[in-house]
Structure 1
């Protein structure tokens, strides 16, 4: 398939009802050239029937934050009020972007829709994301805004101590930037959202896509409450205990994480309409509950912790992958935990060794 044909397919995926003249204007070619490309694509089986009905292709779309991560790792115990020898590394990050890359590394076709600035960081972020296997053709460039950045400091055990997030560009990423993508979003197998999105953007997505399956990552206890008005629309929700408490208002005591306490908390979410709930319990594993009454809890020992920043993003991506692969609940939990553990063992936020094969290998070693 030629580059021009790929460009044409991307436009058709975004808007299957687009006219040949509109395609010609978007691509800067003649209408007769468009007609020739459409004929070739039909012959190749990429388009079937009239009205530009595309051949079936399963894909997911992630909408959320994308930023450059700046990570400080000390070589010894941190000394308050003083500098500590260590390393500083740079890598692409952002909750939504990280989920998309993990999904791509797990073998899923995945689009990322996220805002970046018209700056070096934005171009670098888009290029590195594309190299990692993410389809970045729908990324949104917002002139006059700096690409988001996330500065974090971990301790000698790899646990995050402090972080600063510069994500002002997300305040400019409103519904107007998403409406042209609605055709693509409606045909996705699932949509993944993170709560970095502002309220009006969330309202647009939930309001304009009534039949879509939404998977939501809560990001943090300060941002998680944004999702409360939309709980009845959420297929899969992944909070940790603090985020679950922030959304529900129900005190979640970390000292009492018995199955009965977790089930009582889960029932609140199910009454609000959430179909599937996965509560991340850090080193204590993962609790799953379905509104039908099914529940389970799994735990895997993690032997290597270098950087905890990307574990939750890997876990969320693995939950999406498991659903796409129709895994049962117990296998889903174990696969997601193994993916999180693989992420913990990497210096970078995304483990470059993330793959279905390596997650399965880690699982087999833990049994």
Structure 2
């Protein structure tokens, strides 16, 4: 039996800017050898349990950077579920959207890293998420979704749940951010592309999504020896265009150490995607808004947009570099915190260009720690790194370049 009641879903605090995050809460087991491992035997090293899951990581990052998230997920009353739920409660976060029951097996992912901190192998047991995070559970939170600045969905959701979440957000005019999770799951975008405002694939997920949306394997993996962002963009441009043509408003293409390409087609309102329902910001959200506005003036890109955006089909692509000074410990969680930082910034009322810069700064802080999300963020460091990213960003494609 679930111990959450529908009345809890409707008892939200009025007026707060509350991002809705829908997807997986997962216990991550990280195994890192201290020497080059040999097959068919154990190796010395470290094994640690950490709170994970793409949506959960994003929600935790959001909570530490700008707003209280409403996490909609499913957990079991088992050891793994207790670990995740206790961690969530200890952070002072709401559990009203988390379905909990004896019949649910909490999702667990075991990742084995190489000695460089890169994932080498892994096993995921997440089937119960698809079974128990149902459309019926999600639709209970319609009022929360209606008042949210943005809804983030991850592709761990079943197709019915993903469709229900995206349609519900569209009905109440709440922007949707789609996080593809993996190459295989990224293909679930097909049924919901027309509802999506933002999608944040990496290069391989982009190719998979473009092939799925075009119903044929037109696109092949890109050459990994491409050195410049311009040449990389030229290879990926046809796939990017497929996503935009199929209804996704903004493609936030993550390029690892090369940063992010932000791509759109048409008159997308970059400046007014954030809180539009008279939401009150929490103190940290106010601080984030004020601090970033001071170091990243919001009008840097928009004169060009006004000039080049006269056509409803005008393409516009901006490259945001990564922060070069990062001291990499582990890459797990970086992409999630890029999304989390961006979502938190949108909730704080920052424009999309500023928000992506904050997201990249949050990702940089994440690769410097062992956990999926840093224990805390330094707002001063986030602002300094965001400013570096923002001032170095460049338009790489627009109508005048055709």
CA contact 2:149–2:346 (8 Å) conserved in 1? no
CA contact 1:61–1:112 (8 Å) conserved in 2? yes
* Residue number in structure 2 paired with 1:339: 362
Comparing 195-204 and 119-128, the one that deviates more = 119-128
**SS state of the match for residue 141, structure 2?**
helix
Selected match of 1:264 from 238, 244, 251: 238
Tell me, which stretches of 5 or more residues in structure 2 are unaligned? 212-218, 267-314, 393-402
In 2: Cα distance, 1:74 partner to 1:188 partner:
43
In 1: Cα distance, 2:51 partner to 2:377 partner:
15
The alpha carbon displacement at 1:183 in A equals: 2.0
The alignment status of 1:220 with 2:182, answered yes or no, reads: yes
Selected match of 1:360 from 383, 394, 397: 383
CA contact 2:19–2:347 (8 Å) conserved in 1? no
* Residue number in structure 2 paired with 1:235: 197
CA contact 1:238–1:316 (8 Å) conserved in 2? yes
In 1: Cα distance, 2:183 partner to 2:233 partner:
22
For 1:194-205, list aligned pairs within 5 A.
Answer: 194-205=154-165
What TM-score do you get using the length of structure 1 for normalisation? 0.81
- Pair 99,169 (structure 1): closer, same or farther in 2 beyond 3 Å: same
In 1: Cα distance, 2:235 partner to 2:89 partner:
43
In 2: Cα distance, 1:222 partner to 1:184 partner:
30
- Pair 88,212 (structure 1): closer, same or farther in 2 beyond 3 Å: same
CA contact 1:116–1:140 (8 Å) conserved in 2? yes
In 2: Cα distance, 1:341 partner to 1:102 partner:
13
The alpha carbon displacement at 1:328 in A equals: 4.4
Tell me, which stretches of 5 or more residues in structure 1 are unaligned? 1-6, 17-53
* Residue number in structure 1 paired with 2:275: none
**SS state of the match for residue 145, structure 1?**
coil
- Pair 80,361 (structure 1): closer, same or farther in 2 beyond 3 Å: farther
CA contact 1:115–1:141 (8 Å) conserved in 2? yes
In 1: Cα distance, 2:150 partner to 2:262 partner:
19
CA contact 2:177–2:199 (8 Å) conserved in 1? yes
**SS state of the match for residue 252, structure 2?**
strand
In 2: Cα distance, 1:69 partner to 1:153 partner:
11
What TM-score do you get using the length of structure 2 for normalisation? 0.74
The alpha carbon displacement at 1:97 in A equals: 0.6
The alpha carbon displacement at 1:109 in A equals: 1.5
Comparing 341-350 and 330-339, the one that deviates more = 330-339
More contact order relative to length (CA 8 Å, sep ≥ 6): 2
* Residue number in structure 2 paired with 1:324: 347
The alignment status of 1:138 with 2:97, answered yes or no, reads: yes
The alignment status of 1:110 with 2:69, answered yes or no, reads: yes
Selected match of 1:182 from 142, 150, 157: 142
In 1: Cα distance, 2:92 partner to 2:129 partner:
23
The count of aligned residue pairs is 323
The alpha carbon displacement at 1:222 in A equals: 0.5
CA contact 1:234–1:273 (8 Å) conserved in 2? yes
* Residue number in structure 2 paired with 1:59: 18
**SS state of the match for residue 80, structure 2?**
helix
**SS state of the match for residue 343, structure 2?**
helix
In 1: Cα distance, 2:8 partner to 2:43 partner:
53
The alpha carbon displacement at 1:311 in A equals: 0.7
* Residue number in structure 2 paired with 1:351: 374
In 2: Cα distance, 1:13 partner to 1:356 partner:
32
In 2: Cα distance, 1:346 partner to 1:362 partner:
16
- Residue by residue over 1:31-86, the C-alpha shift from the partner in whole angstroms, topping out at 9 and shown as x without a partner, is xxxxxxxxxxxxxxxxxxxxxxx742211110100111111112222333332211
The alpha carbon displacement at 1:353 in A equals: 2.8
CA contact 1:101–1:133 (8 Å) conserved in 2? no
In 1: Cα distance, 2:161 partner to 2:379 partner:
32
In 1: Cα distance, 2:79 partner to 2:25 partner:
14
In 2: Cα distance, 1:78 partner to 1:96 partner:
31
The alpha carbon displacement at 1:181 in A equals: 1.8
* Residue number in structure 2 paired with 1:273: 247
* Residue number in structure 2 paired with 1:295: 317
**SS state of the match for residue 184, structure 2?**
coil
Q: Which structure: larger Rg?
A: 1
The alignment status of 1:122 with 2:81, answered yes or no, reads: yes
In 1: Cα distance, 2:22 partner to 2:35 partner:
37
- Pair 13,144 (structure 1): closer, same or farther in 2 beyond 3 Å: closer
* Residue number in structure 1 paired with 2:222: 253
Comparing 356-365 and 100-109, the one that deviates more = 356-365
For 1:302-317, list aligned pairs within 5 A.
Answer: 302-317=325-340
